A and B are shown apart, each in its own frame.
Chain A
């Protein structure tokens, strides 16, 4: 069965520092992978997605993620965090069958120190 693990419940970084949020997945085939961001009281906004090809994908707001098949990981990175990046981040894996269901991780809450 598919599953997604985000091992960090909370992460605190200083503004301007680099960021890496971890995501590990379990899936039998090549996964479709996503990162979403959710600000307080808001919906889910897609940051980036990986389907195939280049394993380093660029997203919005200066985020990028790297797919590492050997490690079953899809970590999210940003070189310099802004205070507005404080939010909850969700990694998700999509079923590559006909269902198009998304399985979400439990989320990582990012706090940004001034």
Chain B
């Protein structure tokens, strides 16, 4: 199994541009999570899906952020417009058996200049 695959690994964009981060969960996993890691706030949960349905988006910082999961094998996290304070590492994780089977991707390092 290839694990959770995130793309791109690094993204540098200018303030105001739209940014799309992508995640392919492990096949068969029915939970998908988006986390953000910053120096100031550490690792925080942004949103999670169960069977492609968003369950809890209370961690999404503001309306500029949106996430979708159109099918069981793909999810996107979009920021529009991007701001320098969005610079962070964004992790995707998926799970089949709840907490016992939690797997993280390698992350996307986003830099907004």
Contacts and interface: CB of A to CB of B under 8 A. Distances in A.
A43 B42 contact: no
B42 A104 contact: yes
Interface stretch (B15-23, B65-73, B77-85, B103-111): B103-111
A27 interface: no
Given A101-B48, A106-B42, A43 B106 contact: yes
Nearest to A38: B37
Contacts of A101: 33, 45, 48, 56
Interface in B43-82: 43-45, 48, 55-56
Contacts of B91: 43-44
Interface residues of A, number: 22
A96 to B, nearest CB: 8
Contacts of B100: 49, 51
Given A101-B33, A107-B42, A43 B99 contact: no
A44 B104 CA distance: 6
Interface string B83-113: 0000000010001001110101111010000
Taking chain B's interface residues, is the majority helix, strand, or loop, or is none over half, making it mixed?
A: strand
A102 B107 contact: no
A42 interface: yes
A94 B99 CA distance: 7
Interface string A31-55: 0101010000111101001010000
A70 interface: no
B45 A102 contact: yes
Given A42-B106, A94-B102, A107-B42, 16 more contacts: A34-B102, A36-B104, A41-B109, A43-B104, A43-B105, A44-B104, A46-B102, A49-B100, A100-B95, A100-B98, A100-B99, A101-B56, A102-B33, A102-B102, A104-B42, A104-B44
Interface of B: 31, 33, 35, 42-45, 48, 55-56, 91, 95, 98-100, 102, 104-107, 109
